[in-house]
Amino acid sequence: MAWIALTLIAFALGVVLQARVGRSPLANPTLIATLLVAGVLLVGGVSHARYLEEVRPLTALLAPAIVALAVPMYRLRALLSRQWRSLVIGGLSGTLVGVGTDVLFSRLLGLSGEAQRSLLTAPATSPVALQLAQFTGAPPALAATLAVLSGLVGALILPGFLTLIGVRHALARGLAIGSVSHGVGTARAREEGELTGAASSIGMGLAALLVTLVVAGVGRG
> For 35-85, what is each residue's pLDDT tens digit?
888 888 888 888 877 887 888 888 777 777 767 767 777 777 777 788 888
Residue span of the structural domain in which 194 resides: 68-219
Distance CA 10, CA 39 (A): 11
In a domain, 151, yes or no: yes
Contact criterion met (CB below 8 Å) for 136 and 114: no
Which of 4-8, 24-28, 57-61 tops mean pLDDT? 4-8
In a domain, 58, yes or no: no
Distance CA 187, CA 211 (A): 21
Chain mean position to CA 8 = 19
In a domain, 164, yes or no: yes
In a domain, 42, yes or no: no
Mean pLDDT along residues 80-97 = 83
In a domain, 210, yes or no: yes
Average pLDDT, rounded, for the chain: 82
Total domains in the fold of the chain: 1
In a domain, 116, yes or no: yes
pTM for the structure as a whole: 0.74
In a domain, 39, yes or no: no
Which pLDDT score is estimated for 220? 52
Which pLDDT score is estimated for 112? 85
